[in-house]
Amino acid sequence: MAAKKVSKRRKRAISFSIPSKPDSGGEWSVRLFWPIHVTQMMLWVDPDYRYTILGYPNKKLGWIFSRDPMMSDDTYHAMLACLDAISYDTTRFRRVP
């Protein structure tokens, strides 16, 4: 039996983000794909724009972003402490490369 050829085509998705309201204070409406919209909050931004924390208003999901591929353990734990301080369950966060 001949081996099945695996397609390596890449798929691309484009999402759109706009402020929810003019004075929303970091709340964004994100369209993942039509008709799905979600609300994300910009929770914290590093003064040098190296790191940012995003989350859902219901505090069930959150993300820590870094411009650099590597983040020190101290910085990562400081970000988790920020999330913990605003009642996110940091035990659910997983560090990925």
Which CATH number covers residue 73? 2.40.128.20
pTM for this entry:
0.70
Q: What is the pLDDT of residue 35?
A: 80
The total of structural domains in the chain comes to: 1
In a domain, 11, yes or no: no
In a domain, 45, yes or no: yes
In a domain, 1, yes or no: no
In a domain, 8, yes or no: no
Vertex 53, ends 84 and 85: CA angle to 5°?
15
How many other CB atoms are there within 10 angstroms of residue 91's CB atom? 8
Domain that holds residue 61: 16-92
Confidence of residue 34 (pLDDT cuts 50, 70, 90): confident
Kindly state the average pLDDT of the residues 65-94: 94
Q: What is the pLDDT of residue 67?
A: 93
In which region does residue 83 sit, left (phi positive, over 0), alpha (psi from -120 to 50) or beta (all else)? alpha
Mean pLDDT of the chain: 83
Q: What is the pLDDT of residue 90?
A: 94
Query: Would you say residue 48 has pLDDT above 70?
Result: yes
